[in-house]
Amino acid sequence: MFYEVAVPKFAEGARQITLKQWLCHKGDKVDAGMHIAEAATDKIAIYIEAPSTGYVSELRVEDGQRVKVGQVIAVLSSEPEGN
């Protein structure tokens, strides 16, 4: 099973955010609620959390990239790759 990680709606009127850096790597095991990325706008910084426990299957954006609210930035898998 796969779970998509999207940029959450974090502030009224905010439409884009810069993904400052990933706090995980492909293949890492993450727990629900764990901070997996640091992001910021001109005014605030936020952490993006894993929506469920799983393994990082795919990171779809690079550090420093601007992304839209709601955009899928990562994919988690319920099983490690190769299983």
Q: What is the DSSP letter of 9?
A: P
In a domain, 37, yes or no: yes
Give the pLDDT of residue 83. 58
Average pLDDT of the residues of the chain = 93
User: How many domains are there within the chain?
Assistant: 1
- Asked whether residue 82 is domain-assigned, the answer is no
pTM: 0.89
Q: What is the pLDDT of residue 23?
A: 98
Identify the segments of the chain with pLDDT beneath 50.
none
Residue 17: C-alpha distances to residues 12, 28, 30 (Å)? 13, 24, 22
Residue 69: inside a domain:
yes
CATH code of residue 15: 2.40.50.100
Whether 51 maps to a domain, the answer reads yes
Does residue 64 fall inside a structural domain?
A: yes
Q: Which domain holds residue 71?
A: 2-77
Q: Is residue 67 part of a domain?
A: yes
